[in-house]
Amino acid sequence: MSLSDLPVEWMTMEPEVAGVIRIFDSLSTKQQDEAIQTLKEYFNTDSRRRQRLINDSQSGRVAKRVNLGPVNGVCPYCGR
């Protein structure tokens, strides 16, 4: 596939948004469904509940182990 085969939206999409799409695509169907439901809840609720969703999502961000070595395959965020 060449760049000319890609839709225009992908060429003009912000890198952060493209990274989110790549990560979403790497999720299992069950994980995608959970992400969709969480986003629906996020957009259809008040600011207090939104903040709680953000806080809950960040609790899992603490790494128990850091591996700075090369990744097998391609990074789902940066594509390298």
- Higher pLDDT among residues 73 and 45, named by residue: 45
pLDDT at 15 over 90: no
Q: What is the pLDDT of residue 24?
A: 92
78 within a domain of the structure (yes/no)? no
64 within a domain of the structure (yes/no)? no
pTM: 0.55
Question: In sequence order, which residues have a C-beta less than 8 Å from that of residue 79 and are 6 or more positions away?
Answer: 19, 22
Q: What is the pLDDT of residue 67?
A: 60
Range of the structural domain that residue 20 is part of:
3-55
60 within a domain of the structure (yes/no)? no
Q: What is the mean pLDDT of residues 15-41?
A: 91
Q: For residue 73, what is the DSSP state?
A: S
- Higher pLDDT among residues 8 and 32, named by residue: 32
pLDDT at 17 over 80: yes
Distance, CA of 42 to CA of 34 (rounded, Å): 12
67 within a domain of the structure (yes/no)? no
| Count of structural domains, the chain | 1
